[in-house]
Amino acid sequence: MICSLSFPAADMASKAPTAPPLKTFIFYILISFLTSFSVFAMLRYAANAKVDKICRKVEMPTMYYTGESDSKKTTRGTTSTTEGDLVILVWTWPYGQKFPLDQCASLYGISGCNFTVDRSWYSRADAVILHHRDVCHSKTQLPQEPRPYNQRWVWFNLESPRHSPNLHFMDNLINLTLNYRRDADIFSPYGFVKRANSPQDFRIPNKTKLVAWAVSNWDPSLVRVAYYNQLKKHLNIDMYGGRNRPLSPGNTISTISQYKFYLAFENSLNQDYISEKLWHNSLLSGTLPVVLGPPREDYELFLPSDAFIHVNDFPSAKELAAYLHFLDANDEHYRRYFEWRKRLQPIAYTYWTKHYCNACQALRQQPNYKTIPSLAKWYK
């Protein structure tokens, strides 16, 4: 038996969906548009905020000191030039840190440049130095006026590629790179070693503590944080900076010098990126650096092979910790890491002045004019 269901025509008509009024339809469309726009705006704001944080926020300045203290010195530079001298416009103070602009000759024997921060001299400047972290937020932070004939723009950056966003802003604008990399147009590292004229009587500072690490940028995604989490299982490490024990620039050397080892862990593993963590914090304090950064071969281009301990020399953090404990218990083996200090002296660039003077020297040598199509392709 086949059963069928049937409805009167009136019932069918009553159950048919009723089309919403036109005003209701337009209202729903408007609400959907506003919702989508709000979500897009929030995502864009978050992305810009992230770049803004990288470009503007500085957890720990690259240079520990802003310049030699002398109240009689002007930080504005000079607006009177000697015939033949180059006019170099410092577009922004790096991280807002001011320093004397007229000490290249007295400190480093470099002359022939007049530095100024007065932007009214833009049209007469032979070169403009652009500090990346101060102009990376927006293209509007770059010079907006037409560039004078033959004026050179110098891109100055001491941060690693990871912390150098918006490099595409500089496409086809930069003529010279001022950077810590050896293949930069103007090579300006964080430090170097020079040969002493006579044997040096270097004495290892008195050590009462084992391992120190100063870190202000605590990012769990970084390799150095992951390695530290493994190392601390086998070794007591005193932490400074950020939310840890305070460490002011004036007390850095005296504090770290009490330790036998210092973790000179870089925030990025990039070519030639060997920062103040090694040159200033460790070597100037007379502490044995344990480095994490580019490969050992890279460090050995700047330092003797027995001047540091590289984490890559050990299969794991546990083996490294065991070796540090061994050196702690054996003074003779520990002292061998300082033998090089008898013939070589480490120099750390703790002042911005030196980097700008390096630019003066290079510009005076009249390098061939060129334009760099893409910084990003080189700086990676």
The secondary structure of residue 343, as a DSSP letter, is T
Please name which of 191, 193, 232 lies closest in space to residue 215, comparing C-alpha atoms.
232
Q: Which two tokens stand for residue 304?
A: 């003797």
Of the candidates 159, 297, 332, 339, the residue annotated as catalytic is: 159
- Decide if 345 contacts 73 (C-beta within 8 A): no
Strands (E), the chain: 86-90, 113-116, 127-131, 152-157, 176-179, 186-187, 191-195, 209-214, 238-240, 259-265, 288-292, 309-310, 344-348
> What single letter denotes the amino acid at residue 97?
Q
The secondary structure of residue 339, as a DSSP letter, is G
Q: Can 297 be counted among the known catalytic residues?
A: no
Q: Which two tokens stand for residue 312?
A: 């890559």
Alpha helices in 69-131 (DSSP H): 104-108
Q: What are phi and psi of 347, to 5 degrees?
A: -120, 125
* β pairing state of 344-348 and 191-195: antiparallel
HSE-CB for 49 with a 13 A CA cutoff = 6
- Decide if 259 contacts 238 (C-beta within 8 A): yes
Please name which of 270, 335, 332 lies closest in space to residue 299, comparing C-alpha atoms.
270
Residue with the two structure tokens 């013939």: 343
Alpha helices in 213-351 (DSSP H): 223-231, 252-256, 276, 296-299, 317-329, 331-335
Sheet holding 127-131, edge to edge: 113-116, 86-90, 127-131, 152-157, 176-179, 186-187
Task: Compute the C-alpha angle 212/216/218, nearest 5°.
Answer: 100
Active site amino acids: 159
